[in-house]
Structure 1
Amino acid sequence: MKMLLDKMKPPRSKLPLSIVAVVVCAFTFIGALYIEDAGYLNFKAKSCSKQEPTPHSHESKRVEQNVSSSVEDDLLEDVDGDGKEGFDPDSCRVYRGKWVFNASVEPLYSDTSCPYLDRQVSCVKNGRPDSDYRYWEWQPDNCILPRFDPIGALEKLRGKRLMFVGDSLQRGQWESLICMVESSIPADQKSMRRGRSHSVFKAKEYNASIEFYWAPFLVESNSDLHIKPDPNDRILRVDSVFKHAKYWVGVDILVFNSYVWWMSGLKIKSLWGSFANGEDGYEELDAPVAYRIALKTWANWVDSTIDPNKTRLFFTTLSPTHMRSVDWHNKKGIRCYNETQPVMEKNFWGTGSDRRIMDVVTSVAERMKVPVSFINITQISNYRKDGHASVYTETQGEVLTDEQKADPLRYADCIHWCLPGVPDTWNRVFYAYL
């Protein structure tokens, strides 16, 4: 921008300060629109002022920072030798950084020690022979991400209900968090109740619950409970969340997500009105269009129902898929199969992350009255082609057979993540914002 301004010829007479301010703001805004940065989900335009910026001015404040501008003392760390600052949600760009291999720090659990993991994500149980994927640690460029403290997390949840709402990837984050804290709770002080749509883990001593509610589209659909395997059979009621939302009332911390189910086809069958009136009156909409309508429905419910003084609202950004090995220049690869290391290319962005969906989330959240904090895991996870369940998973309730494992083109799951693994880092970020 400075080069552009330098090339502008000075006028013969001085321009009024207000005009100069407008010109500067215009260039700033145009520059922001063209920044190819995976962290752009956090963009929020600054208002332009005639006053000179102070030395303490920050770059554009992020939507995810609206919930709070302070952090508990125990999350703050001193500046280290590399000049990194302690974690501050107003300045730490968590999404910018790198994965560093650290075999000295053991995961807080394993898929054999935690009794609450689904077999779908229990990769070691399912025969995965390598283990390096469990020891990669995310390090932001400009700050120190606090280590996850199980007791600290439970204390922050004391007397509260925390609910994850969304799809199976959100369920993975829920299971990850439970496994990260459950070993710190005596056996007689914890319980789990699994339901078809609503599951509840309780830490009795802390009077806290960590819950999951299944709503893959957030809005109602004919695939909420009895899943339609063929995406072409799925129909969404894009104007209603009430059937689901009645379970969200009274929760202290809500964490939503919704992405991968929207990407299963180019068109989404969208319905207005009750399913009881028939499913023939649907309209086929482009996925981003249907997503925007549905997310506005969700946002309207939040703004009309949620009291931000009583409930904190989070949104986990899209979890990328790794279906095309050519994305990371492995032309002979088969999806994420046999990938054992992260992508090391800075700012790597694969075809499994749809910017149009991210744009919808940003634009809708910016207009909401209730502040939304983003758990911005997209760029972090984009690098982790090695962390997926691949062929070490199950299908239709059964672990893949040797014959199925030998056919990764058909059976490799490059959507879900092994646990322990990448979702533990998502929860480390979430913990920092708690």
Structure 2
Amino acid sequence: MLSTSTKNPYSMSQAYGRQPGAHKRMKHAQIHIVLALLLYSLRSGLARHHTRQPSGVIDTRGGQLSDGLTSTDLPYNDGSLSRELQIVPDPPHNSTMSLNLPVCRDIPNTGKFTGHWVDHPDRNYRGLYDQHSACPAWAHDFDCENSAQPADKNPALLAYEYRKVFQPDECRLNPWDTKGFEKCMLGRRIIFIGDSMTWQMYTSLACLLAPVTESGVGGMWDTVPKNTTVTGEYKGREWPEGRHIMKQYWAQVKLKNGGELIARCFGRFNGTLWDDVFAEIGPLNERDVIIVNFGAWYPRFNYHEIRTPFEAFKLDVKEIFMEKLAKSPAHTFWRINSPSHFGGHTGTFTAIQEMLMPEGVPKRQHCDPVTVGEYWYRDTVLSTLKECGEPCKKIRLLPVFDLSTARHNSHHGTFGRGRDVGFTDCRHFCLNVIDWWNILLYSMLCF
């Protein structure tokens, strides 16, 4: 606060004039007054910032200070500012394309890609859903409008979820363009290999590319035996005899310009199965793209397995990277593991819910948010890349974890899917979320 004497500059100069060095002290006092007024103004303008934020985080209640500063960081009492402050206004919360941000192209290979989901300004916006209404037969599943029971249908939640769009923190994503992606696919094959989450990503892309597709075939692996020679039984790492990997989905799609989508989805990794699949696909070249992930069948803890499946995940990731991908000429994306929303601190699926049902544990009626997520998968991947070094430099990470973790309401389980097998499916997303994985791929692959 300023003293009452500062209201009369003449009386203040008179007071300083009766002392040695008065002129210099008066000048210092005036400087202090200006600084005090400046700081008072800043404090008033930033009054809404009462809590510390991590660097770069924007408080949705007010503006952001440069370098992540908030009002509690300001040195109000030392008579000076430690750095120049620049107030950055909030970004608009209704569109991903109106921000003055660079296009997301060269995304760092850290597996992280943060942002927030915002409402589209059009309350009737349904994302890319209208294109899914014409999904071909070889890509028709994972639709949350097809809930398990009529009583589970929740049109209000569905409309709310499908109106959301993803807004990255550091850049903006190119809007989806079917013709643009088709052009990018010229002379190229995209090979999806992994578990059912990989099938979801393939399904989304096959639906989005339906208008430029010439032909296709796909479905459960066992329903298309005439199209594949890979029919044997394969065992997961450290699995007991008699237990075999589930071969889930198989698809082969040809676009009008000759590009291809290929899906080979199975639950756990096996090196021989991998080799047999790629022997059938044929020789790879530098135009080919492999999108791979295994993770859903490697829970951190598992009731069924004596050894922790996560230990097998570490060994399998090392073999995939060092023995398979590092030696392949194809352009490779490792899709970072997506979050599960089974409730609890980390969202881990322990595979014990079914076992406990007879003991009185109620079935989960919806999918819950998580506060941490299964971050250890990403840590393992980054550690393996570092250990592999130069041979793995060309492996890029498709960072879908942070993008997806906020979307617990867009899991199948919230809409009734999965309850018929004893537990709510809180792993598989509605396609509105998965579409954004492919929008991210579009920016990273085609620009």
> Would you call these one fold, judging by a TM-score over 0.5?
yes
Q: TM-score range by the shorter chain?
A: 0.5 to 0.7
Q: Deviations over 1:130-153 (max 9, x none)?
A: 222112111011211111111111
Larger-gyration structure (1/2):
2
Q: How far apart are 1:390 and its partner, in Å?
A: 1.1
Determine if the alignment matches structure 1 residue 289 to structure 2 residue 314.
Answer: no
- Alpha-carbon separation, structure 2, partners of 1:157 and 1:102: 29
CA distance 1:90–1:428, shift in 2 (3 Å) = closer
Distance 1:253 1:141, change over 3 A: same
Q: Distance in 2 between matches of 1:154 and 1:82?
A: 27
Q: Is 1:101–1:136's contact at 8 Å kept on the other side of the alignment?
A: yes
Aligned: 1:337 with 2:370 = no
Per the alignment, residue 69 of structure 1 pairs with none
1:166 to 175, 188, 194: 194
The answer on 1:147 being equivalent to 2:175 is: yes
Structure 1 SS opposite 2:101: coil
Higher share in helix: 2
Classify 1:245/1:300 alpha carbon distance in 2 versus 1 (closer, same or farther; 3 Å). Answer: farther
> Aligned residue for 1:199?
250
> What does residue 217 of structure 1 align with?
268
Deviations 1:167-207 (A, max 9, x none): 1111001000111111344xxx2332446156334334210
Candidates 390, 414, 419, aligned match of 2:426: 414
How far does the alpha carbon of each residue in 1:81-128 deviate from its partner, in whole angstroms, 9 at most, with x for none?
Answer: 754223331569971211001163443344543134766512213353
Q: Which of 333, 341, 348 is residue 314 of structure 1 equivalent to?
A: 333
Distance between the aligned counterparts of 2:276 and 2:215, measured in 1? Answer: 29
Which letter does structure 2 place at the counterpart of 1:246? A
Deviation at 1:285, TM superposition (A): 3.8
How many residues are aligned here?
295
Please tell me whether the aligned partners of residues 346 and 374 of structure 2 are also in contact (alpha carbons under 8 angstroms). Answer: no
> Using the alignment, how far apart are the partners of 1:87 and 1:125 within structure 2?
33
Q: How do 1:253-264 and structure 2 match up within 5 A? A: 253-263=289-299
Question: Could you say what the CA RMSD is over the residues aligned between the two structures, in angstroms?
Answer: 3.5
Q: CA deviation at 1:241?
A: 4.2
1:334-377 Cα distance to aligned partner (Å, 9 max, x none): 857177xxx7xxxx744xx3222221111112315042111101
Q: What does residue range 10-409 of structure 1 map to in structure 2 within 5 Å? A: 82-90=99-107, 95-102=113-120, 104=122, 105-110=125-130, 111-116=132-137, 121-126=142-147, 127=150, 128-130=153-155, 131=158, 132-185=160-213, 189-194=214-219, 196=221, 199-219=250-270, 241-247=274-280, 250-251=283-284, 252-263=288-299, 265-266=301-302, 285-302=307-324, 305-307=327-329, 311-324=330-343, 337=366, 349-350=371-372, 353-366=373-386, 367-368=388-389, 369-370=391-392, 371-390=394-413, 392=415
| Structure-2 separation of matches of 1:118 and 1:90 | 29
Shift of the 117–337 alpha-carbon distance from structure 1 to 2, 3 Å rule, reads farther
Q: Residues of 2 paired with 1:258 and 1:119: CA distance?
A: 22
SS of the counterpart of 1:202? strand
- Residue 430 of structure 1 corresponds to 441
- What do residues 15-56 of structure 1 show as CA deviations (whole Å, max 9, x unaligned)? xxxxxxxxxxxxxxxxxxxxx99xxxxxxxxxxxxxxxxxxx
Aligned to 1:275: none
Residue 290 of structure 1: CA displacement?
Answer: 1.6
**TM-score normalized by the length of structure 2:** 0.58
Q: Secondary structure at the match of 2:136?
A: coil
Gaps of 5+ in 1: 1-35, 38-78, 221-238, 270-283
The aligned residue for residue 50 of structure 2 is none
Please give the alpha-carbon distance, in whole angstroms, between the structure 2 residues aligned to 1:263 and 1:418: 21
What TM-score results when the alignment is normalised by the length of structure 1? 0.59
Structure 2: distance between partners of 1:119 and 1:90: 31
Q: Distance in 2 between matches of 1:219 and 1:245?
A: 12
Match of 2:74 in 1: none
What code does the residue aligned with 2:113 have? Y
Q: Decide whether aligned partners of structure 1 residues 91 and 254 sit closer, same or farther in structure 2, where only a CA change above 3 A counts.
A: closer
Q: Which structure 2 segments of 5+ residues have no match? A: 1-53, 56-95, 222-246, 348-361
Deviation at 1:254, TM superposition (A): 0.2
| Distance in 1 (alpha carbons) for counterparts of 2:97 and 2:326 | 44
The one-letter code matched in structure 1 to 2:441 is F
